[in-house]
A and B are shown apart, each in its own frame.
Chain A
Amino acid sequence: MSLARSDAPAAGGLLPDRWRLGRWLFKGVALVAFLYILTPLIFITWLSFYAQEIPSYPPEGYSLNWYGQALNNERFLKAFLLSAQLGVVATLIGLAVALPASLGIVRLRFRGRGTVNNLLLMPLIVPGIVLGFALYVFQVEIAIATSWPILGSFGGLVFGHVLLVIPWTVRLITASLVGFDRTLEEAAQNLGANRFTTFRRVTMPAILPGIVAGALFGFVSSFGNLEMSLFLVGPGRTTLPIAILQYLQWKIDPTIAAVSVLQIAIIAVAMLVTDRFVKISRVV
């Protein structure tokens, strides 16, 4: 909305009527769009404080009971820990792949550069369910061929989730590398820094916002993934989205709402905290 303000000439009273109308229309559309995005979140937060078990309007009262239920539910707790571990490990591996890949894509001139870039972004386009099924079949074949029990293992899950992380990290790291002025690296080398020191002291700080933003988005997409994980989890190994789905098959009480609100809160806090240290908002 600041866009509308800064674009408009300062003399408000002198504006032709159709301009003013356009501005109101623009603000109206923006408001509808925001409401469209936020309404479900607002409702689920409201719902999580309902006193009654069956969500119906109007609420019969408010309580924190469902938060207690959620936090004391061992299934949710275990699932949350697994999802967190999975997200962290997948993100770290994804970064380890994405950083050199991005450097190669942006800085080297080789044949098939565009293809490699597109391949790395592909998991973003392929539906999760297709990816999950493909990985499932693939892991079955590996298990048969090597008798290595990858299917349903933590390693198997990580394997899949790395694919979710890579497109985000590659996309955001390449974006920040493209905008990076390479004479800064030459300046560092001229001042006595070898290639490694140059990368650590000059390149890295410059692309850090891209790396952090990529890691964050990668983590969030891993943490929230349902479709792919469904194919890859094993007995006793459930991610949070799957635990929520399973719970919903038997009950529809606001515990789910409470779990969702907690999940949203954790991610929101993570975003705000990282944004304080590196300005992610400048990259995304």
Chain B
Amino acid sequence: MARLELDGVSKHYGDFYAAREVTLDVAEGEFLVLLGPSGCGKTTTLRAIAGFVEPSAGTVRIGGKDVTRLPPWKRNTGLVFQNYALFPHLTVAQNVAFGLEMRKVSKADAATKVNEALRLVRLDHLGDRLPRQLSGGQQQRVALARALVFRPDVLLLDEPLSNLDAKLRNEVRVEIRSLQQRLGITTVMVTHDQEEALTMADRLVVMSEGKVRQVGSQRDLYERPADRFVAGFVGRSSFLEGHMSGDTLTTPGGLAIKCARKIAGEAVVALRPERVFVGTEPVTTADNSFPGEVEFVSYMGGLIDIHVRLSEHDQVIAQVPNHDGSVLPAVGDRVHVGWAPTSAVFPAEHNGMDG
């Protein structure tokens, strides 16, 4: 259990930057999630913490100690691999004992600790099995016990849930999170699944193209995305591009949109679908109200997505709750959509990637 700091960590292979100037500060006992699409640098960052990637530049500190040049076996991190990487020729108990054995813990002590760790993941009755005799979920828990048993300074999770089926994934999510909180262990998890990230993390780091795009709480990322990428990757957004002067963004389609933030020049507005209102009359309660035509309706039970075209260039998605007796607009209907001035406005040069 320790604080973990990354200071300007970069890794490049020739001209290709896998990680660029990654700076993170993970507090003791914090659960930090690195979130991003594949190839965004999150795994490289995790491997730099574990010691499998030697940074081209920057420093990694665990508990205040510079470990940048230390090999993996001298770092005291516990890594749970995506494919679990259990030793196939060792029993469950021997797998879990491996880290203790390397730390020269006495046999009797080790046996007690192994038992404790297995009880923690509710597998103490399966110690004598071989990994291949276990289900995927059980293997995952063995991997977790193996990484926790020697009380690592930092627990590292590399897409630990991606090989489990959907139902199990939700259970394990809760289990890992509560275990982490109970032990108060500093944890870094890598995932590309935003739901997983949002439900488990204390704080999230959104990455793309090797760079940290934004660090913050779930609310920070959703309410105040730092750029277009984050707005598209965390939750959903409709994007309207145009030229901004004062607090008004004018789209090529002729819409004049009031915003809560001023940016000079080309800009893009991100709208959360549930914050867009749809009605048959102009939306007088919102500063922005435009007429449009329903282009597509997607019925999802409790929620309904309505895609509305506002002009040749502009389209927004509105998500409305399916109230008792609500009348569904049909494709081709003329409607009005409206929204309050939003602060999610970004300069247009952030248009690199779409979520």
Contacts and interface: CB of A to CB of B under 8 A. Distances in A.
B85 A193 contact: no
Contact of A186 (B72, B75, B86, B99): B72
A30 interface: no
A183 B99 contact: no
A124 interface: no
B60 to A, nearest CB: 15
Q: Is the interface of B mostly helix, strand, loop or mixed?
A: loop
A64 interface: no
Please indicate which of the listed interface residues B51, B52, B102, B150 has the most CB atoms of chain A within 10 Å of its own CB.
B102
B277 interface: no
A108 interface: no
B88 A193 contact: no
B79 A202 contact: no
Interface in A182-210: 183-184, 186-194, 197, 201-202, 205-206
Interface string B51-81: 1100000000000000000011101111101
Given A191-B99, A192-B103, A186 B85 contact: yes
Contact of B87 (A187, A192, A194): A187
B33 to A, nearest CB: 20
Given A190-B78, A192-B102, A184 B87 contact: yes
B131 to A, nearest CB: 11
Contacts of B89: 205-206
Please indicate which of the listed interface residues A183, A192, A193, A206 has the most CB atoms of chain B within 10 Å of its own CB.
A192
A97 B118 CA distance: 42
Contact of B52 (A181, A186, A194): A186
Nearest to A190: B79
B87 to A, nearest CB: 6
Given A189-B73, A190-B78, A191-B99, A183 B150 contact: no
A177 B88 CA distance: 15
Given A181-B85, A183-B81, A191 B146 contact: yes
A187 B77 CA distance: 11
B73 A194 contact: yes
Contacts of B146: 191
Interface residues of B, number: 25
Contacts of A202: 87
B294 interface: no
Given A194-B71, A205-B89, A206-B89, A187 B81 contact: yes
Contacts, number: 57
A188 B98 contact: yes
Q: Is the interface of A mostly helix, strand, loop or mixed?
A: helix
A184 B85 contact: yes
A181 B72 contact: no
B110 interface: no
A183 B72 contact: no
Please indicate which of the listed interface residues A189, A191, A192, A193 has the most CB atoms of chain B within 10 Å of its own CB.
A191
Band of interface residues on A: 10 to 19
Nearest to B74: A192
B23 to A, nearest CB: 24
Contact of A193 (B50, B51, B73, B83): B73
Interface in A68-100: none
B85 A191 contact: no
B40 to A, nearest CB: 20
Contacts of B73: 189-194
A190 B103 CA distance: 12
Nearest to A186: B52
Contacts of B147: 190
Given A183-B81, A206-B89, A190 B71 contact: no
Interface string B329-344: 0000000000000000
Nearest to A204: B89
B96 to A, nearest CB: 10
Contact of B102 (A183, A186, A197, A205): A197
A267 B272 CA distance: 75
A23 to B, nearest CB: 33
B144 to A, nearest CB: 13
A187 B72 CA distance: 10
A192 B83 CA distance: 19
A209 to B, nearest CB: 11
B52 A191 contact: no
Contacts of B50: 190
B85 A189 contact: no
B81 A186 contact: yes
Contacts of A206: 88-89
Contacts of B87: 184, 187-188, 202
B83 A181 contact: yes
A100 to B, nearest CB: 21
B85 A183 contact: yes
A192 B150 CA distance: 10
Nearest to B102: A192
Given A192-B150, A193-B73, A194-B71, A187 B102 contact: no
Nearest to A187: B85
A109 to B, nearest CB: 13
A202 B85 CA distance: 11
B223 to A, nearest CB: 37
A202 B52 CA distance: 17
5 contacts: A181-B85, A184-B87, A187-B85, A188-B98, A205-B89
Given A186-B79, A192-B103, 8 more contacts: A186-B81, A188-B87, A188-B98, A189-B52, A190-B79, A190-B147, A191-B98, A192-B73
Interface of A: 181, 183-184, 186-194, 197, 201-202, 205-206
